[in-house]
C-alpha cells in the first residue's frame, strides 16, 4: 500500500484529469437537458392536438431517460458491498489501498463515460424531434 503523499508520484494524475473532463461533459449535458425540458413544456403548452402531445410525450420520455443517466440511475442499479469498498483505509489511518481505490475509480469513470455517451445520443434525438415539432407550428 502507498501512503497519501505518494499519490502524485504514483502517476495517477491522469485519472483526475479524466474525471474533470467527464464532469465538464456531464455538466454541459445537464444544461442541455434543462433547456430541452423548458422548451418541451413551451411547445406542449402551445400545441394541444393529440399528435403533437403524443410526440411531445415521446420526447419527454427520452429526456426522462437522460435525467436517469445523468443523475445516477444506472449506478443505483448496481449495489456496492460496503465491507469491500476500495476507499477503506487501514486501521492505522496512514495507509491507503491505492490500487483498490484506483480500480474502483476507473470502473466508476468508465460507467460514467458510457452513461454520458448514451445521454448524448438521447439528447441529440430529443433535440432533432423537438426541432421538427417546433417547425410544424
pLDDT tens-digit series, residues 49-94: 999 999 999 999 999 999 999 887 554 445 454 444 444 444 555 5
2 phi, psi to nearest 5 deg = -105, 150
Predicted structure pTM score:
0.70
Residue 42: CB partners within 8 Å, gap ≥ 6? none
Report which of 106, 43, 36 is spatially closest to residue 70, judged by C-alpha positions.
36
More confident residue, 75 or 6: 6
Q: Where are the alpha helices (DSSP H) in 12-136?
A: 13-46, 50-70, 73-76, 98-135
- Which domains are assigned to the chain? 18-77+94-135 (1.20.1270)
Amino acid at each position: 500500500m502507498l501512503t497519501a503523499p505518494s499519490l502524485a508520484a504514483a502517476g495517477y494524475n491522469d485519472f483526475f484529469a479524466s474525471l474533470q473532463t467527464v464532469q465538464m461533459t456531464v455538466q454541459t449535458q445537464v444544461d442541455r437537458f434543462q433547456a430541452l425540458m423548458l422548451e418541451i413544456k413551451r411547445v406542449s403548452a402551445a400545441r394541444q392536438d393529440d399528435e403533437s402531445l403524443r410526440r411531445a410525450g415521446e420526447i419527454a420520455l427520452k429526456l426522462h431517460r437522460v435525467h436517469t443517466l445523468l443523475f445516477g440511475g444506472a449506478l443505483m442499479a448496481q449495489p456496492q458491498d460496503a465491507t469491500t469498498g476500495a476507499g477503506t483505509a487501514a486501521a492505522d489511518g496512514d495507509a491507503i489501498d491505492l490500487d483498490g481505490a484506483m480500480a474502483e475509480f476507473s470502473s466508476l469513470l468508465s460507467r460514467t463515460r458510457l452513461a454520458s455517451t448514451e445521454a448524448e445520443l438521447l439528447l441529440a434525438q430529443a433535440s432533432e424531434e423537438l426541432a421538427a415539432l417546433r417547425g410544424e407550428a
